[in-house]
Each structure stands twice: as structure tokens, then as C-alpha cells.
């Protein structure tokens, strides 16, 4: 079992076509909505890219230096589906945006975060461009078995990340009816917005409205239009 199987599979089984992540960027005007099915296809493509082109396998140390963005969600879930250990400690592969291209790693995968899938400018010649490569990979993925005591996030194991996500969902009182509007960042740690703003929502079977570069003046109106019943950040 992987973190991705444990948290995403129940969402897909319940209603794969229901909106799962709605992403806004108030600086660019973007609004993108992903059903569970569509998000899972992107996660599968990412997992296939990491396994087939980047040689990521169970236990490979992978850094994810990206903002709270739908592509960070698929990067994390794709990495966990392959069995990667997401950590900043001596990563072998780094999944980064333009600001973090100098992350020391054996291989860098650059994310432009462009809504139209344009490649990342000024990418080093030995790096992989995510936007250019990911679309060529299949949207189905069959993971190899990963033990529950394998490292998943920092010092936490697969089982610990899954248990923490489910426990936080219960502590927050979240359910499949939860629609969370979040402006919180997603630090790659076992506390903060990654757990409360993404993984706990998945564990609860709810849905997420994630806003980057949030304009405070629009948030109340957006909460109403998106029917959000919880807020974070």
C-alpha cells in the first residue's frame, strides 16, 4: 500500500467524477478544476514519468520544492505512488519550480506551473522539463508493493502519514461534505497546510479549493461561489 493508494483510491471509488481540487491563482487569473478521475490521470502520468524516465523507485529520496499548486499535489501523489521518500535531506531527484532549479540533486525535474503547459524557460540542459515530458506518459499506473514502514514524508513512514491524515480529518470534523477554501502553503512536513489543506481533505473524501497569490478582497465572495464550508490560511 502507498500513501496515494490509501488516500486517493477511496475518493475515486466513492465518486470519481466529483470535483476534487479547484485551483485559483489570483495573480494570473487561472481557475482550473479537477475531478478525482482527472487528477488521478495526472498522478498516474507523473508516476510513470518518475519511474520510467527518472528511475525513481521505492525508497528513492525525492525533494518537492513547489508552491501550493495543483501540480504539487500530483507531484507528491505521483512520487508516493512510486514509493518515493519525499524529503529535503540529500535528494536524488528534485521536483522544482523556476526559483529552485539550483536544488542539489542527481536529477532535477523543472515545473513551469504554466496553465497552458508551456515548458520552463532557462532549464539546465541536463534537467527534465515536466510539462514537455509528462503528457507522453500513460494515464494508468500499477504500483509495486510498498511496506507500511517505508519512509514517506520526512521521518514519517507510509502508515504514519496515512494515519495522521485520517486522524486530522477526524479532529477537524471533516467528511465527504467538506469543501475547504485554503490559502495556506504546503510545507513538506507532517504539520501545517500539506496535512490540513490537502491530505486530510483526501482522507475525509472532501474537496479542496486552493488559492495561490490570494486577493483577500475576493475570498468571501469566492467562498460563496465555490460553496466552501471550511477555511484555512
DSSP-assigned states of every residue in 44-95: HHHHHHHHHTT---TT-EEEEE--SSHHHHHHHHHHHHHT-EE-SSS-SEEE
CB-neighbour burial class of residue 217 (10 A; exposed 0-12, middle 13-18, buried 19+)? exposed
pLDDT of amino acid 122: 87
Q: For all residues of the chain together, what is the average pLDDT?
A: 96
Span 127-146, pLDDT tens digits:
999 999 999 999 999 999 99
The answer to whether residue 107 scores a pLDDT higher than 90 is yes
Query: Domains in the chain, start-ordered, CATH in brackets?
Result: 3-232 (3.40.50.12780)
Span 20-76, pLDDT tens digits:
999 999 999 999 999 999 999 999 999 999 999 999 999 999 999 999 999 999 999
Flag whether the pTM goes above 0.85: yes
Evaluate whether 31 touches 23 at the Cβ level (below 8 Å): yes
Amino acid at each position: 500500500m502507498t500513501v496515494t493508494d490509501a488516500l486517493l483510491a477511496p475518493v475515486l471509488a466513492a465518486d470519481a467524477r466529483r470535483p476534487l481540487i479547484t485551483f485559483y491563482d489570483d495573480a494570473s487569473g487561472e481557475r482550473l478544476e479537477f475531478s478525482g478521475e482527472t487528477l488521478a490521470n495526472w498522478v498516474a502520468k507523473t508516476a510513470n514519468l518518475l519511474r520510467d524516465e527518472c528511475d525513481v523507485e521505492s525508497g528513492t529520496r525525492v525533494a518537492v520544492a513547489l508552491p501550493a499548486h495543483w501540480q504539487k499535489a500530483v507531484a507528491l501523489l505521483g512520487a508516493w505512488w512510486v514509493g518515493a521518500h519525499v524529503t529535503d535531506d540529500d535528494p536524488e531527484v528534485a521536483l522544482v519550480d523556476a526559483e529552485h532549479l539550483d536544488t542539489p540533486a542527481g536529477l532535477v525535474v523543472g515545473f513551469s506551473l504554466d496553465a497552458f503547459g508551456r515548458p520552463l524557460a532557462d532549464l539546465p540542459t541536463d534537467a527534465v522539463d515536466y510539462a514537455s515530458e509528462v503528457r507522453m506518459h500513460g494515464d494508468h499506473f500499477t504500483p509495486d508493493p510498498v511496506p507500511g514502514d517505508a519512509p514517506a514524508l520526512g521521518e514519517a513512514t507510509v502508515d504514519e502519514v496515512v494515519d495522521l491524515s485520517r486522524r486530522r480529518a477526524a479532529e477537524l470534523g471533516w467528511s465527504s461534505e467538506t469543501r475547504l477554501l485554503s490559502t495556506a502553503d504546503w510545507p513538506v512536513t507532517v504539520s501545517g497546510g500539506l496535512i490540513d489543506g490537502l491530505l486530510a481533505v483526501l482522507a475525509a473524501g472532501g474537496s479542496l479549493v486552493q488559492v495561490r497569490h490570494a486577493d483577500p478582497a475576493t475570498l468571501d465572495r469566492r467562498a460563496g461561489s465555490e460553496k466552501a464550508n471550511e477555511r484555512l490560511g
